[in-house]
Amino acid sequence: MAELIVALDVASRGEAVEKVKTIGDAVGFYKIGLELFAAEGPDVVKAVRDLGKRVFLDLKFHDIPRTVERAVKSAARLGVNLLTIHASGGRAMVRAAADAAAEFGEEAPKILAVTVLTSMDAQDLADIGVAGRTPAEQVRAVASLAVDSGADGLVCSPLEVGSLSRSLRPGTIFVTPGVRPAGSALGDQKRVATPAEAVRDGATHLVVGRPVLAAPDPVAAARAIVQEIGG
């Protein structure tokens, strides 16, 4: 069964707690990203956990293996359930993250790899030395590298999840942002899928921000998505 994760894209711990309380039982999983973490640090993770929610910490670690290993352990001690690294950090870095998480046994956070940022096109890739591959080819290459090196799953766009879920090993987690319920505003998202489409293509978790947080009735908006994905 796919799960809804609401992106807590707010600037302060106070706002985050207010949103989580407002949404209540309708959502059990929240994503904390760079904006909120840079402002409030581990306290905001603790605050969301204290409200009984699971946390996806989206800090996209990308550093030498030893540093990533230690950062993953720090995040795991906060009790997060999912966290992100950049697959382009290479095999040793992904392996270091996976091994660090595994030390936490049953409580281990799942490691998700980010492949190619959706903001990058072929020219951006060429500029950083990835020439001769389309973004889609680069996504496939680093997705395989990440999963082969121990990552539990991937963050991928709704347009990529179908081919990746068919080609990677069963049990891989696919977390998909860029999801828009039919009729909701796109905001700055350009290539979107509905919740049902993303899940049909293999998404195991959907990350949705504004369609829930900015809805006139966030509880109803969240419940409608959960119902659409069969929760």
Contact residues toward ligand C5P (CB under 6 A) are: 7, 9, 33, 118, 155, 157, 177-178, 187, 189, 207-211
By the 8 A CB rule, do 60 and 86 touch?
Answer: yes
Q: Which is nearer to ligand C5P, 92 or 134 (CB)?
A: 134
Beta bridge partners of 3: 205
Smallest distance from the beta carbon of 214 to ligand C5P, in angstroms? 8
By the 8 A CB rule, do 211 and 192 touch?
Answer: no
Smallest distance from the beta carbon of 187 to ligand C5P, in angstroms? 5
Please, which residues have CB within 8 angstroms of residue 148's CB and are 6 or more apart in sequence? Answer: 91
Residue 202 CB burial class (10 angstroms; 0-12, 13-18, ≥19): buried
Smallest distance from the beta carbon of 68 to ligand C5P, in angstroms? 19
Helix (H, G, I), strand (E, B), or coil: what is residue 92?
Answer: helix
Q: Which is nearer to ligand C5P, 106 or 188 (CB)?
A: 188
The sign of the dihedral angle between the CA atoms of 204, 210, 215, 218 is: positive
Smallest distance from the beta carbon of 194 to ligand C5P, in angstroms? 13
Which residue's beta carbon is nearest to the bound ligand C5P? 209
* Catalytic residue flag (residue 60): yes
By the 8 A CB rule, do 210 and 187 touch?
Answer: yes
Choose the catalytic residue: 46, 53, 60, 110.
Answer: 60
Q: Point out the residues that are catalytic.
A: 60
